[in-house]
Every structure is written in structure tokens, then in C-alpha cells.
């Protein structure tokens, strides 16, 4: 049985957060409004009307948070940079004070011996760009590449590797197709240009970063897709879902082409958004690593409504669930990684797990401790599954757990706790949970066993 302690020497251990979910300070030091500020203010958009106005107040408490990371013994910290802090209108003037914040954060991390791994876009688009069409507009891709250049010019002397986008699938589907995330557009398949323009933005930004000698990753939310049965219709529905969720975001990057979406009645130019030369730009810059965010597999059956989407989601039964209700299937991570290797072969770059974790209904006990055994079980199971994938020959270089801190869980507000560190949102008090000590001890044992 593969064991997490057998992960290779030099394996990078990390934890992740994202700007809107932790920073707060939404109107401070010249930050412009983002689509999440606007969406969260809309009555009924977010559970209990929660907003990211204060979040974990990380903008002011980053020193304390880096100390928590140092105590944990992280090799790397994945955080995101808020585009509206750096360029408040998405184009035009640069906000020096916004860049100064990330400059301080990077220095603090390096002083603690932690490698910064910034994500350039984790869903907080400047509202001014959304007013011009957001990711439905081709222009946004070009503005993204400009923003990447501004950031790398300032931080690139200390930051070796960058993640361009976080989960373009989730942003496209939740934000533009279903409207349950910002910017709250419910366009169904007409949202597909938002997928292409994000990928185009990735390609343009990746070229800027790689020209300057930086390493480039992208963080995709990927899922193993299980057919509900062996019936032909279920198998076809599962293949259609796999094309939309996974291959739409890995085929163009790794193979330079989009998958066939004809089951959706969609033409290869994705609603007229794909222009000659775009796929060369998306794949051409190359990737130094593929970031994989894994939470659970997806079970798919044939659609029940003939006129709707060509798939229906089916329950995964007989497995534990997180507080969010997500199925817990650690071996799904091994299956996903081996499947990526088998599908893409030599076109697959080394993988980093850029997110994996679970929400637990954590409470601070009377003695001040937080016993989050379900999170420890979740992490242990997934890290063993990761080690099994490595034993099967998949090249995995690192693991960033989601998340360092309890934080703003988008449309769920502050109701889902994913952190290794409990945050009391009324007082901002941080309490390391039992999983924090468990993760620290695991990293230490792994390093000791490799003489680090």
C-alpha cells in the first residue's frame, strides 16, 4: 500500500488561499471594486448576505498569518493577487499601494523560508472590466496579459513560479453559465466564450512570464467522471460531461485543440470566440506544470430532459460526505492523475496538486482546541492516494492543501470551514486546529526520512 511518507524527496508541501476569500480591506489603499464586491452586495446572492469586506483581515494580519505558516513548516504558500488592487479599473493607471502589499507579503514569506506561489486570477475581476463584458469580451484576455506584466515586473525578482488562472471551468460555469457566483450571469452554453477568453488570457500571460524566464502553471479543477451504469446512453453522457469539465480546459493547453462539444450543439469555434491563431497562443507558451485542484469524482447519467444538457448528475452513494455534502473519495485522486497521464502521455507536464481539502463543521471546544478529525482523515486518505499515483509513475511535484485559514467560501459566505487554522470571524482570533499539528508533523517526518 502506497503511503504518504513515501512521496519523493524534494516534494513541495504547501497551503493555499485566495485574495477575495482572506484579504478584506476591499476599499483600502486604492483598491477598485471587483465583481465579487458587487455580486455579494446583491440581495440573496450569498448565504446570509455575507461579503468579503473583512474576510480574515489578512491584508492587515498577514504578518501573523505568515508566522502560522512558519510554525507549520510550509515549503510554499499559494495565494492570489487581487487584480483590482493592482489595476483598479482593470486597465489604465497602476495602483502602487496595491503592489506594495504583495511586495511586503512576498518579503515576509521569503524571510520565513517559504516560497511564494502567486495566482494571478482567482475570480475577482475588476468590475470595470465586467462592465465591458468581462470574460465574454476578448479584450479582457489582453488586459490580463498587461496586468501579468505589471505584477511580474514588480515581484519577479523574488517569485520563481506563477499560476495564471484558478479553475477557469468553475468561473465560467458558476459565474457566467449558472449565475450562482459573480458576475451572476446565467447564459448557459452562451457562456462558453468566457472559457476561451480565459484560456487566451492564460496563453498571452504565460508568454510574458516565460519570456522573462519564469515558470508557469495553471490551476484546473478536474474530476474523474464516472458513468452511472454501463448503458450506452450513460457512457455517452459521462463522455460529454468529461469533455465540458475536464478536456475543455486541458486539451487546448496540452494538445492545442478543443474537444468535440457537438453533443451540446456547440460548434468548434465556441460561439464564434475562437479565432485563427488562438489555439497556437494557448498551447504555444507551454506549461511548466499542471495545477490540479481535486475535491471529488462526479457520477453522470443520461439526461432525463431530452431538450436540456446532454448529461444529468447522479448521486455517489455509500461514501462519507464533507460538511458541504461533497462525497469523500480519496482514490478518485489517484484515478484522476493516472487518467491524465494515460490521456496526455508525454504532453503532460509535471503535476502539482494546487488544492485539496474539505469543509468540516469545526467548533472551538471549551479547552480552546479544535478537533477536526474528519479533515485529518480526508488529508491522510488523499495523500496516500497521491502516493499511489506516484508509485504508478505519475510525476507529482507538490501538494497545497485548501486551505490555510477558514475563509469566505463564495456563495456559502462564512459557513464552510476549510482551514487548518480556525478563524473566529467576529474577533479575527486564529486557532490552529488538530489538522495543523498533524500536517506539520507529517511534513517534518517526510523531510527527516529524506535527510532534509
Please identify, using beta-carbon distances, which residue of 251 and 355 lies nearer to ligand IFM: 355
* Residue numbers 165-184 binding ligand IFM by CB under 6 A: 167
Q: What is the largest CA-CA distance in the chain?
A: 63
Please identify, using beta-carbon distances, which residue of 240 and 292 lies nearer to ligand IFM: 292
**Residues 56-76 as b or e (16 or more Cβ within 10 Å = b):** bbbbebbeebbebbeebbbbb
Residue length of the chain: 452
Compute the least distance from the CB of residue 18 to ligand IFM, in Å.
5
The whole-angstrom separation of Cα 293 and Cα 251 is: 17
Compute the least distance from the CB of residue 224 to ligand IFM, in Å.
16
Compute the least distance from the CB of residue 137 to ligand IFM, in Å.
23
Q: Which of 23, 130, 167, 409 is catalytic?
A: 167
Alpha carbon of residue 392 to chain centroid: 25
* DSSP letter (8 states) at residue 313: E
Q: Per-residue x/- mask for ligand IFM, residues 372 to 411, rule CB under 6 A?
A: ------------------------------x------x--
Compute the least distance from the CB of residue 293 to ligand IFM, in Å.
5
438 is a contact residue toward ligand IFM (CB under 6 A): no
Please identify, using beta-carbon distances, which residue of 323 and 364 lies nearer to ligand IFM: 323
Please identify, using beta-carbon distances, which residue of 283 and 353 lies nearer to ligand IFM: 353
User: Which of these, 291, 352, 289, lies nearest to 167 by C-alpha position?
Assistant: 291
Distances (CA, A) of 88 to 96, 134, 140: 11, 14, 14
Please identify, using beta-carbon distances, which residue of 227 and 352 lies nearer to ligand IFM: 352
251 is a contact residue toward ligand IFM (CB under 6 A): no
Compute the least distance from the CB of residue 106 to ligand IFM, in Å.
21
The whole-angstrom separation of Cα 110 and Cα 31 is: 25
* Residue numbers 8-47 binding ligand IFM by CB under 6 A: 18, 21
Please identify, using beta-carbon distances, which residue of 258 and 414 lies nearer to ligand IFM: 414
Alpha carbon of residue 338 to chain centroid: 20
Q: Does the annotation mark 167 as catalytic?
A: yes
The whole-angstrom separation of Cα 152 and Cα 323 is: 38
Q: Which of 23, 108, 335, 355 is catalytic?
A: 355
Sequence-distant (≥ 6) Cβ neighbours of residue 207 within 8 angstroms? 145, 281, 284, 285
Q: Does the annotation mark 355 as catalytic?
A: yes
Compute the least distance from the CB of residue 403 to ligand IFM, in Å.
7
User: Which of these, 202, 217, 208, 218, lies nearest to 152 by C-alpha position?
Assistant: 208
Binding site for ligand IFM (CB under 6 A): 18, 21, 167, 293, 355, 402, 409, 418
Q: Which residues are catalytic?
A: 167, 355
Amino acid at each position: 500500500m502506497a503511503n504518504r511518507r513515501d512521496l519523493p524527496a524534494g516534494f513541495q508541501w504547501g497551503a493555499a488561499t485566495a485574495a477575495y476569500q482572506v484579504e478584506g480591506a476591499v476599499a483600502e489603499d486604492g483598491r477598485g471594486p471587483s465583481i465579487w464586491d458587487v455580486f455579494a452586495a446583491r440581495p440573496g446572492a450569498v448565504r446570509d448576505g455575507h461579503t468579503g469586506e473583512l474576510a480574515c483581515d489578512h491584508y492587515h494580519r498577514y504578518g501573523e498569518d505568515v508566522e502560522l505558516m512558519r510554525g507549520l513548516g510550509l515549503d510554499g504558500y499559494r495565494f492570489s493577487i487581487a487584480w483590482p488592487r493592482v489595476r483598479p479599473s482593470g486597465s489604465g493607471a497602476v495602483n502602487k499601494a496595491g503592489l506594495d502589499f504583495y511586495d511586503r507579503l512576498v518579503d515576509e514569506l521569503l524571510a520565513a523560508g517559504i516560497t511564494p506561489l502567486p495566482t494571478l486570477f482567482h475570480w475577482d475581476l475588476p468590475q470595470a472590466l465586467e462592465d465591458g463584458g468581462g470574460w465574454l469580451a476578448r479584450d479582457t484576455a489582453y488586459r490580463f496579459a498587461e496586468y501579468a506584466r505589471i505584477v511580474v515586473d514588480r515581484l519577479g525578482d523574488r517569485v520563481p513560479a506563477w499560476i495564471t488562472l484558478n479553475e477557469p471551468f468553475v468561473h465560467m460555469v458558476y459565474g457566467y453559465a449558472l449565475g450562482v457566483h459573480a458576475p451572476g450571469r446565467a447564459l448557459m452554453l452562451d457562456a462558453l466564450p468566457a472559457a476561451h477568453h480565459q484560456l487566451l488570457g492564460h496563453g498571452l500571460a504565460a508568454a510574458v512570464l516565460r519570456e522573462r524566464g519564469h515558470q508557469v502553471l495553471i490551476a484546473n479543477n478536474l474530476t474523474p467522471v464516472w458513468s452511472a451504469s454501463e448503458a450506452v446512453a450513460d457512457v455517452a453522457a459521462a463522455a460529454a460531461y468529461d469533455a465540458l469539465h475536464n478536456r475543455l480546459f486541458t486539451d487546448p493547453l496540452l494538445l492545442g485543440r478543443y474537444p468535440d462539444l457537438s453533443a451540446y450543439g456547440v460548434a468548434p469555434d465556441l460561439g464564434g470566440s475562437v479565432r485563427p491563431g488562438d489555439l497556437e497562443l494557448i498551447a504555444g507558451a507551454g506549461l511548466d506544470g499542471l495545477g490540479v485542484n481535486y475535491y471529488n469524482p462526479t457520477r453522470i447519467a443520461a439526461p432525463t430532459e431530452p431538450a436540456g444538457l446532454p448529461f444529468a448528475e447522479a448521486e455517489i452513494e455509500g461514501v462519507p460526505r464533507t460538511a458541504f455534502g461533497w462525497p469523500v473519495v480519496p482514490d478518485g485522486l489517484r484515478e484522476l492523475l493516472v487518467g491524465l497521464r494515460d490521456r496526455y502521455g508525454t504532453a503532460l507536464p509535471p503535476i502539482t496538486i494546487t488544492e485539496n481539502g474539505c469543509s468540516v463543521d469545526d467548533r472551538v471546544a471549551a479547552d480552546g482546541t479544535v478537533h477536526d478529525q474528519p479533515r485529518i482523515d480526508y488529508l491522510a486518505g488523499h495523500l496516500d492516494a497521491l502516493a499511489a499515483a506516484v508509485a504508478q509513475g505519475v510525476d507529482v511535484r507538490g501538494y497545497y492543501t485548501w486551505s490555510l485559514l477558514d475563509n469566505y467560501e463564495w456563495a456559502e459566505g462564512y459557513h464552510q470551514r476549510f482551514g487548518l487554522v480556525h478563524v473566529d470571524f467576529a474577533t479575527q482570533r486564529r486557532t490552529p486546529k488538530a489538522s495543523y499539528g498533524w500536517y506539520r508533523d507529517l511534513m517534518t517526518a517526510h523531510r527527516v526520512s529524506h535527510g532534509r
